[in-house]
Structure 1
Amino acid sequence: MKQIYVVRHCQAEGQAADAPLTAVGQEQAQDLAAFLADRPIDYIVCSPYVRACDTIAPLAMQLGIEVQLDERLTERVLSEQNCPDWMDMLRATYDDLELCFEGGESSRMAMQRVVQVVQEMLERPGEHAVLVSHGNLISLLLKYFDDGFGFEQWRALSNPDVYLLSFSDYQQPSMTRLWLK
């Protein structure tokens, strides 16, 4: 059985690619490392955004695992415009996966790139892996495997958050939320 721990980054100072973790986020990263340290993790694949890398760095250091960065795990861009009604726009993209705003990426497009990463992870050697990314992209990955996962479930995600996807013979995975703090 293949298991992928899907990790949302810890609390960050903003949404920019170079936004670091807050002081609280740094403490959360240590807690996350302690939470995952006793699990048999073979490799880690991570968004190159600073907040994602800093989230998983303590665990990687503790386990002696080099983090593999993957551009496909960057956060989904809703629009290139600064939209005051972005929350309503985002909600609409869970109902219409093809909806795409100017300069942005549809839910389907973002979903396809993160699912491709997971499919490649399933083909790799090793039974246990960690995928580190961002809330909207993770919610779309979880929606791919469970169509009931939508806008409200995205809103309920925490920073950090951890879901375990367990794949038996590459079938539909079981999905368990592990981080309940």
Structure 2
Amino acid sequence: MKRIYLIRHCKANGQEAGAQLTIEGRIQAKHLAEFLTEKQIDYIVSSSYERAISSIRPLAKKLNLMIHMDNRLCERVLSTEELVNWMETLRESYEDLDRKLPGGESSRDAMTRGVSVINELYSRTEKNIAVVTHGNLMSLILKYYNNSYGFNEWERLTNPDIYELVKPKNEEETTLNRIWM
């Protein structure tokens, strides 16, 4: 049985790639490490954004594991233009998965790149894998496995958050369970 722990990063000072964790976020990262220690993580892969790496670094140090970076886990860009109705546009992107705004990525494209990482991880020999990403991409990966996930589920995600994806050996279906407090 393969277990993938899909993790949203801890609280950060911004959305840019180099944004650091807040003081609260650094404390959350330590709690995240304590929580995940019992899960017997044997492989870690993360978005290359600093807030994602910093969120999992305490666990990696504790377990003496390398953090592998994968840019396919970086956050989705909705648009490179200023959006006055950003929240409504994001909501609509869960309904029209193919809508692509200027300079942005459609929900389907982001979902496809995120799920491609998960599918590759399913073929690895490690049994318990931590995957660190960002809220919008995480919710789109969850939507792939359960189409009822959408904007409302994205809104309910916390920083950090963890979903356990379980795929029994030789089975197609992946089950999802939110396991963060």
Q: Distance in 2 between matches of 1:155 and 1:82?
A: 21
**Structure 1 length as normaliser, TM-score?**
0.98
Measure how far apart 1:171 and its partner are.
1.5
Residue aligned with 1:14, SS: coil
Give the residue type in structure 2 aligned to 1:110: A
C-alpha deviations, 1:67-103, integer Å up to 9, x for none? 0000000000000112121111100010010011000
Which structure 2 residue ranges, 5 or more long, are not aligned? none
Measure how far apart 1:140 and its partner are.
0.1
Residue aligned with 2:176, SS: strand
Q: How does 1:2-151 map to 2 (within 5 A)?
A: 2-151=2-151
Moved more, 76-85 or 46-55: 76-85
C-alpha deviations, 1:42-62, integer Å up to 9, x for none? 100100000000000000000
**1:170/1:131 CA distance change after superposition, 3 Å:** farther
Which structure 1 residue ranges, 4+ long, deviate > 6 Å from structure 2? none
Q: Distance in 2 between matches of 1:92 and 1:172?
A: 27
- Mapped contact 1:47–1:73 kept (Cα < 8 A): yes
Q: Distance in 2 between matches of 1:70 and 1:153?
A: 24
**Structure 2 length as normaliser, TM-score?**
0.98
1:176 aligns with 2:177: yes
- Mapped contact 1:122–1:170 kept (Cα < 8 A): no
Q: Distance in 2 between matches of 1:85 and 1:64?
A: 44
Measure how far apart 1:137 and its partner are.
0.1
Give the residue type in structure 1 aligned to 2:75: E
Identity, % of aligned pairs? 47
C-alpha deviations, 1:124-164, integer Å up to 9, x for none? 11111010000000000000000000000000000000000
Between the two proteins, the alignment pairs up a number of residues equal to 180
Q: Distance in 1 between matches of 2:35 and 2:150?
A: 26
Moved more, 166-175 or 20-29: 166-175
Measure how far apart 1:170 and its partner are.
4.2
Q: Distance in 1 between matches of 2:113 and 2:24?
A: 30
RMSD: 0.6
